[in-house]
């Protein structure tokens, strides 16, 4: 059995061990996946000793994604754009970092839910870590345009600047009213946690719009409820993204792609 784990603080809530156990069972891979609560002060030593002991790979969650990025010697293009990593592994004595969150949301939208991104107008709400991770992959789908709205405009500007070599993001704050309607609207803010909805004008939803909340829960999130009230054609939560980003990590480590559909269904029934 090769050892894998997710590292964060807190970590008790993490569904990653269950997801990877289901992947391992389904694919017959010799994967033993655990979770570890590790403080910021202990993070570097933990990672280095995990791999020195022969560990196969780590997933990294809050608040260590930026530290994981900094610790690695080699980075995928998406980790470089996100400036954050959720997946680590060793190759030829070097620590590699990827960010599979973006691939996860793209696969959930496109493969699982049939949402076309190519040639579409994509709107991302928020400019924090979650938005960065998603945008790193969304810009590679050949959209017509990618618009970012954020409460703190300076943060959107910093994001635009970091992405400028790869893609010209359009950025606005929520008060801006001349943004044309968008085909896919992704809530990458943390506002659902507080039961609130980003102050987006309903006129930004195109007629056949898909609204996606990167959060998920037993009940529809406030943003999903808002999207339904404003006649979005498809309204989705982030459970599929969670499983897809895990599948991308599993694929990086093991070279085998698990079937995500039964795992998403299993997790859905447990919410």
65 is catalytic: yes
Which one of 4-12, 126-134, 176-184, 224-232 is the stretch in contact with ligand ATR (CB under 6 A)? 126-134
Min dist. Cβ of residue 69 to ligand ATR (A): 13
Min dist. Cβ of residue 38 to ligand ATR (A): 18
Strands across the sheet containing 2-8: 31-37, 2-8, 57-60, 87-91, 94-98, 74-75
Choose, from 35, 65, 103, 120, the residue flagged as catalytic: 65
d(CA 87, CA 56): 11
Among 3, 36, 46, 128, binds ligand ATR (CB under 6 A): 128
222 binds ligand ATR, rule: CB under 6 A: no
Among 49, 70, 74, 152, binds ligand ATR (CB under 6 A): 152
Evaluated on CA atoms 53, 59, 65, 70, the torsion sign reads positive
136 binds ligand ATR, rule: CB under 6 A: no
d(CA 183, CA 204): 9
Among 155, 157, 233, 268, binds ligand ATR (CB under 6 A): 155
Number of residues that bind ligand ATR (CB under 6 A): 15
Binding site for ligand ATR (CB under 6 A): 126-131, 150-152, 155, 189-191, 196, 198
């Amino acid at each position: 059995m090769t050892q894998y784990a997710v590292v964060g603080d807190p970590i008790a809530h993490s569904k990653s061990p269950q997801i990877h156990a289901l992947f391992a069972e389904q694919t017959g891979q010799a994967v033993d996946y655990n979770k570890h609560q590790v403080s910021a002060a202990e993070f570097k030593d933990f990672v280095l000793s995990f791999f020195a002991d022969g560990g196969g790979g780590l997933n990294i969650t809050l608040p260590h994604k930026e530290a994981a990025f900094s610790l690695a010697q080699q980075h995928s293009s998406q980790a470089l754009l996100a400036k954050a990593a959720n997946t680590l592994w060793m190759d030829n004595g070097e620590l590699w970092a990827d960010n599979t969150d973006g691939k996860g949301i793209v696969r959930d939208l496109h493969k699982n839910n049939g949402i076309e991104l190519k040639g579409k107008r994509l709107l991302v709400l928020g400019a924090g870590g979650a938005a960065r991770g998603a945008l790193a992959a969304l810009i590679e789908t050949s959209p017509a345009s990618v618009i970012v709205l954020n409460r703190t405009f300076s943060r959107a500007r910093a994001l635009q600047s970091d992405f400028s070599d790869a893609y010209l993001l359009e950025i606005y704050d929520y008060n801006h009213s001349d943004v044309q309607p968008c085909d896919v609207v992704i809530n990458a803010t943390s506002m659902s946690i507080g039961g609130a909805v980003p102050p987006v004008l309903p006129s930004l939803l195109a007629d056949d719009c898909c609204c996606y909340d990167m959060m998920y829960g037993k009940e529809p999130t406030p943003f999903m409820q808002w999207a339904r009230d404003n006649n979005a054609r498809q309204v989705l939560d982030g459970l599929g993204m969670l499983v897809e980003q895990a599948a991308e990590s599993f694929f990086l480590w093991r070279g085998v792609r698990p079937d995500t559909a039964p795992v998403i269904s299993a997790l859905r029934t447990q919410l």
